[in-house]
């Protein structure tokens, strides 16, 4: 089964065009949707999740059109960027309640499903605790558990690791990786490490348009021999921006380093660097920003 998005556009009532001709084919497995805040990622995810309609274009999951809301929702799991929980309700009781809402009427079957999911997301030891006492990572794992009710064929997770500490992020990576072995999982994020760690294929989106689709490996190879770096005084950043294609600046041990893209050695003290997926990302969105500025 594949998710096929064709020429999708979304323009809101205030005239803002959040999506502009987005086309993607997403197979089973982990697929990353990488872009800055405001790029259109959440709009795309909400549209795929049947929470809003597109202005034009089409979305199909196998033989189902996204406009067939009820049928598609039976195959869909969704973890939005922000979701609420009842702080004084235990994880076990809350998940049982959501399972009822999703149509699991048989109490014995529902109990088995709830137990299996809490085991899967490693929350079984904390199942009696109220959700208000959970850490951020535990709440995210509970969110995945509710999204997995009904064995969805498509799972959408929107910015799932934002705000998690490194240990919780690694646990979440392992969980998503396991789920992605048998499900279409769309990981919408602005964190490059999420895509680098989890996804065999990904797309970069910015300004409501898809700028790149492919594998992280192929994307990085496109910039071989084109990334150069140099340490400069902080007060010279704008001068370098005016003369070079600066895609990133960062501080290291109190020194400012810039990374630029150039087809050949720019001289002037720049050193060749191995490209990274972050370079690919920043190069793509900086090109988009330049076009918007023009």
Judged by DSSP in three states, 191 sits in: coil
Say if strands 184-189 and 154-158 run parallel, antiparallel, or are unpaired: parallel
Q: In what order do the strands lie in the sheet with 271-272?
A: 246-252, 255-261, 227-232, 271-272
Q: How far apart are alpha carbons 72 and 69 in whole angstroms?
A: 5
14, two tokens: 């205030």
Q: Give the separation between CA 257 and CA 173, rounded to whole angstroms.
A: 30
The two structure tokens encoding residue 87: 């702080």
Mention every residue, 6+ apart, whose C-beta is less than 8 A from residue 215.
Answer: 200, 201, 202
Asked if residues 17 and 62 have their Cβ atoms less than 8 Å apart, the reply is: no
Q: Where are the alpha helices (DSSP H) in 74-211?
A: 91-101, 107-120, 136-147, 166-179, 192-198
Residue 122: left if φ>0, alpha if ψ -120 to 50, beta else—which one? Answer: left
Q: What is this structure's pTM?
A: 0.87
pLDDT in tens, the chain (294 residues): 899 999 999 999 999 999 999 999 999 999 999 998 888 998 999 999 999 999 999 999 999 998 888 888 888 999 887 777 889 999 999 999 999 988 888 999 999 999 999 998 889 999 999 999 998 888 888 998 999 898 899 999 988 887 778 888 888 888 888 888 889 999 998 889 889 989 999 999 999 999 999 999 999 999 999 999 999 998 899 999 999 999 999 887 778 999 999 999 999 999 999 999 999 999 999 877 654 332
In the three-class reduction of DSSP (H, G, I as helix; E, B as strand; rest coil), residue 63 is classed as coil
DSSP E strand boundaries for 129-254: 154-158, 184-189, 201-206, 209-214, 227-232, 246-252
Residue 243 is predicted with a pLDDT of 93
CA dist list (Å): 197 to 80, 200, 202, 274: 21, 9, 11, 18
Q: Where are the domains of the chain?
A: 3-85+134-219, 221-293
In which region does residue 201 sit, left (phi positive, over 0), alpha (psi from -120 to 50) or beta (all else)? beta
- Residue partners of 189: CB distance under 8 A and separation at least 6: 32, 33, 34, 41, 159, 160, 161, 162, 195
Does the domain at 3-85+134-219 match CATH 3.90.245.10? Answer given as: no
| Helix (H/G/I), strand (E/B), else coil: 110 | helix
């Amino acid at each position: 089964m594949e998710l096929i998005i064709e020429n999708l556009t979304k323009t809101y009532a205030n005239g803002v065009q959040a999506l502009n001709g987005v086309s993607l084919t997403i197979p089973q497995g982990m697929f990353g949707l990488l872009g800055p805040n405001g790029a259109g990622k959440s709009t795309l995810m909400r549209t795929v999740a049947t929470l809003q309609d597109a202005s034009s274009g089409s979305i199909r999951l196998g033989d189902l059109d996204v406009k067939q809301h009820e049928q598609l929702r039976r195959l869909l799991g969704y973890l939005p960027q922000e979701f609420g929980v009842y702080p004084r309700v235990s994880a076990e009781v809350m998940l049982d309640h959501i399972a009822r809402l999703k149509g699991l009427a048989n109490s014995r079957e529902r109990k088995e499903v709830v137990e299996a999911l809490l085991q899967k997301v490693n929350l079984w030891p904390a199942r009696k605790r109220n959700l208000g006492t959970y850490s951020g990572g535990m709440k995210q794992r509970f969110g995945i558990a509710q999204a997995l009710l009904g064995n969805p064929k498509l799972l959408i997770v929107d910015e799932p690791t934002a705000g998690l500490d490194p240990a919780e992020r690694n646990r979440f990576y392992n969980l998503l990786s396991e789920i992605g072995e048998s499900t279409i999982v769309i990981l919408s994020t602005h964190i490059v490490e999420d895509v680098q760690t989890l996804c065999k294929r990904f797309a970069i989106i910015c300004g409501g348009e898809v700028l790149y689709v492919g594998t992280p490996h192929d994307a990085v190879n496109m910039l071989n021999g084109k990334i150069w770096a140099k340490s400069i005084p902080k007060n010279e950043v704008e001068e370098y921006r005016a003369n070079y294609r600066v895609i990133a600046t960062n501080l290291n041990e109190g020194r400012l380093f810039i990374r630029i893209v150039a087809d050949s050695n720019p001289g002037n003290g720049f050193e060749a660097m191995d490209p990274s997926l972050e370079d690919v990302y920043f190069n793509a969105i900086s090109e988009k920003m330049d076009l918007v500025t023009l």
